[in-house]
Chains A and B, each alone.
Chain A
Amino acid sequence: MVTPAVSNPAPSLLDRLVLPTSGAWANDARRAALARFRDMGFPGRRDEYWRFAGGEDFAAPEPEEAPILDMQGEAPVFSGLERLKFSFRDGRFEGDLPALPEGLEVSRLSDAGQQDLHWARDLYGVLEAAGQSPVARPFAALNTAFAGDGLLIRVTGKVALPLSLIYCHDDPRSDAMLHHVLRLEPGAELTLLENGPAAARLNTVLEVDVADGARFHHVRAQGRDHGRRAITHLFARLAKESVFKSFTLTVNGAHTRNESVVEFTGDDAVAHLAGAAMGDGRMGDFTHDDTVFITHGAENCESRQVYKKVLMNGAVGVFQGKILVKEGAQKTDGYQKSQALLLDEDSTFLAKPELEIYADDVACSHGSTSGGIDEEALFYLRSRGVPAAEAQDLLVLAFLSDAMEEIEDAAIIEDITSRLEAWLARRRAG
């Protein structure tokens, strides 16, 4: 296990945090996570996966203020979809749990101790702990220890309605840690939606255990507040013939780091991870970091990563993606693509694509590119009467399209596309 050097002498965020008590097994898990975290410490710039963009703002004792974005009457993303809604405000669940359809069980993390939730006990902090090797993820351990709220979700059937987590942000100084665990029993199906800024500073962990033949579909739209900061962690364990798809949209936000750690433990499973990010440095800092680690530990599994970033006016994009194929993981099909569209010369894309392969019968590829707008295509569009700015927007959306195609639901693609169009149009209007 590679543990980052403890470079901050007295991490005062740790002094400020208090271990919540949410019942016997959860308390044990939290204490274990705190011990894990103490071994790792906060990451420093010399740590391999923190070189491009550091985590000082995530480690600072207090979050920086993040003014609340005026949505100007615009309905939040996913509003038009029929879904099961769970709302959080500045990191706290609010309201009552909605009536649940058959095949779905949901409890709050704070209630964990009072109920007999064996399945949750076997998951909470467990996938996170497994995901600490070979690369340490200190903020995830910190989250397991201190998460203030979250849901324990168990899916036993095919749930038709998406489960929607709505993260509101009212307090410009809120600091939130959310931790959800999700267990899909064999053959179960669920779509999970997440949207909203959640807090001025957000740290999330989502542990997803996908059993044999189960299907999990995840679509996330991170909040548009310019000053918000978020470090998110997705830990997934995929059993035989399971399917896992996750897409994240990021527009604005001062600093976002999305870590995804996926492990194939059963044969013939599929995992697709995609992200579309758009940042304009003119509206404030924008650093967006996708850090992905896929472990193929079983045969004939397919992993696909498609990450796209549109950067302008000093925006910074980071991609750190690794495919590890263990010995014996034959017939692995691993594909990784990370691309940045730089709309000017002030923006930066830093990429670290990695393959590590210990099996001989595999097909793995990765490609990382960055470049400007295609001038030939731009002229072609303009020669047909499309004004330059609109033509550019069309090409920006075209650039993002192969990440968007990883979303399974056409209505969601349309919803998200219309948001992107509106964002681009607002930018054009100045």
Chain B
Amino acid sequence: MLKIKGLKVKLEAEDKEILKGVDLDVPAGAVHAIMGPNGSGKSTLSYVLAGREGYEVTEGSATLDGQDLLDMAPEERAAAGLFLAFQYPVEIPGVGNMTFLRTAVNSQRKLRGEEELSAAEFLKLVRAEAKKLRIDADMLKRPVNVGFSGGEKKRNEILQMAMLQPRMCILDETDSGLDVDAMKLVAEGVNGLRDAGRSFLVITHYQRLLDHIKPDVVHIMAAGRIVRTGGPELALEVEHNGYADILSEVA
């Protein structure tokens, strides 16, 4: 599904290389996790995949089902099935959450040449999904993420994911800021979406999330590279020993 080869990325504004050759292959139906110290480049990788400005790809490639992601506009990537749950969801004063969701769903459908959802169909869908995530009507009415608590913002990201039904979901620290119950809700949301045609790339600092969302593969990222890849036991190792052992091994 998602194939990243030798991806090198520097900042556009300054001569600073952040990704120094990332290789990653997430097959259809798989759940991969990425862990790694602060500043190792995890969010940068997710932003570059989603198409955020400010980065320059100097080498390598990233494809979604063979389509060159790096050549597409962010909205085209989204319509192709890529979704990023932001580490820091953006507040948009003046745009109602409902309007935002409906515009997003229908924009993607339009880009894919599908019929737009009617107001009634949309409402029914959003109510059902919001209920699962315990997002109340008031949160749907308010401007996007404005005044939401940290955990509410993260749940709102998962609501968007549930509405958009992407094929490749990247979750950047969706667990941080969530209380224990909210974490379960979010994990249930993710697990409910798991199927043979959908893949997940879960970025996290904590083994805790991976108890709920069981990964097939765990990668460790450090200083802009994937330095170790293993099974779920790798996450446990990090939880117990930190990164020191792994990093010294690699060095």
Contacts and interface: CB of A to CB of B under 8 A. Distances in A.
Interface string A264-286: 00000000000000000000000
B94 A402 contact: yes
Nearest to B91: A377
A383 B95 contact: no
Interface residues of B, number: 31
B104 interface: yes
Interface in A135-186: none
Contact of A379 (B74, B91, B95, B103): B74
Nearest to B74: A382
A383 B50 contact: yes
A233 B143 CA distance: 35
Contacts of A379: 51-53, 74, 90
Measured as residues with beta carbon below 8 angstroms from the partner, the interface class of chain A is: 20 to 34
A399 to B, nearest CB: 6
A386 B94 contact: no
Contact of A390 (B53, B83, B103): B103
Contacts, number: 82
Interface in B78-94: 78-79, 83-84, 86, 89-94
A380 B94 contact: no
Contacts of A399: 94
B104 A386 contact: yes
Nearest to A391: B75
Interface string A408-426: 0000000000000000000
Interface string B125-160: 000000000000000000100000000000000001
B75 A380 contact: no
B92 A386 contact: no
Contacts of B53: 375, 379
Given A385-B111, A386-B103, A395 B92 contact: yes
B78 A385 contact: yes
A394 B95 contact: yes
A390 B107 contact: yes
B73 interface: yes
A391 B52 CA distance: 14
A219 to B, nearest CB: 20
Given A375-B53, A394-B95, A394-B103, A386 B75 contact: yes
B108 interface: yes
A363 interface: no
A383 B103 contact: no
B126 to A, nearest CB: 14
A394 B103 CA distance: 9
Interface string A72-83: 000000000000
Given A381-B104, A401-B94, 8 more contacts: A376-B90, A380-B92, A381-B103, A383-B86, A385-B164, A394-B99, A400-B94, A401-B93
Interface of B: 50-53, 73-75, 77-79, 83-84, 86, 89-95, 99-100, 103-105, 107-108, 111, 143, 160, 164
6 contacts: A382-B74, A383-B52, A384-B104, A384-B108, A386-B103, A398-B143
